Structure 1
């Protein structure tokens, strides 16, 4: 937690994340057999973005074809070491989609990327 702002941040590493527009996020969430926690954020243009927390992202997902596919859908893997912003009590721009996470489960990032690959064609 950052003292001066009250933000709650997590460095990508032991936990990974995939960010995407909410419209795609809804389709991906419906496709996953066991989805993990989702942070919903509203940006300065009032557009909603979802951050799906995942297990660690491994280098096998960091290839050009995966990057291009994600970029075409406006999704992205949060790079190792980058900050993942989580909802904080005073944060009016972020919230958990279905309440606070109840356990430590995070889906494999490969499953989320595959769901994006399938859902991008809808």
Structure 2
């Protein structure tokens, strides 16, 4: 039996599109790639749009409109807090500190010493 690749430490497991007009972004990618984009209501009442490629959820559009628009890759790790500390000692900047999102897991957003943004995530199912 193979392990879910999204739960393997070091794998890219999710992509978020941040910024831009949500309706234009969803229309563009729905037409270009054929993705299904499904709105879901979050616990705080905001809308999060999940990107589905067939039956697989591959990313999403959080309720953020900051510009410029960008893709933010999520990398699965074994322990977000420990990895954030290591990243900081190696010159990374914490953009959003580690936080727990109910029903998802623990995540943090960083910028590497070279200017690239990325997020670290430990999924809720990994923390049990």
Higher strand share: 2
Bigger radius of gyration among the two: 2
Structure showing greater relative contact order (alpha-carbon pairs closer than 8 Å, 6 or more residues apart): 1
Higher helix share: 1
- Normalising by the residue count of structure 2, what TM-score does the alignment of the two structures yield? 0.29
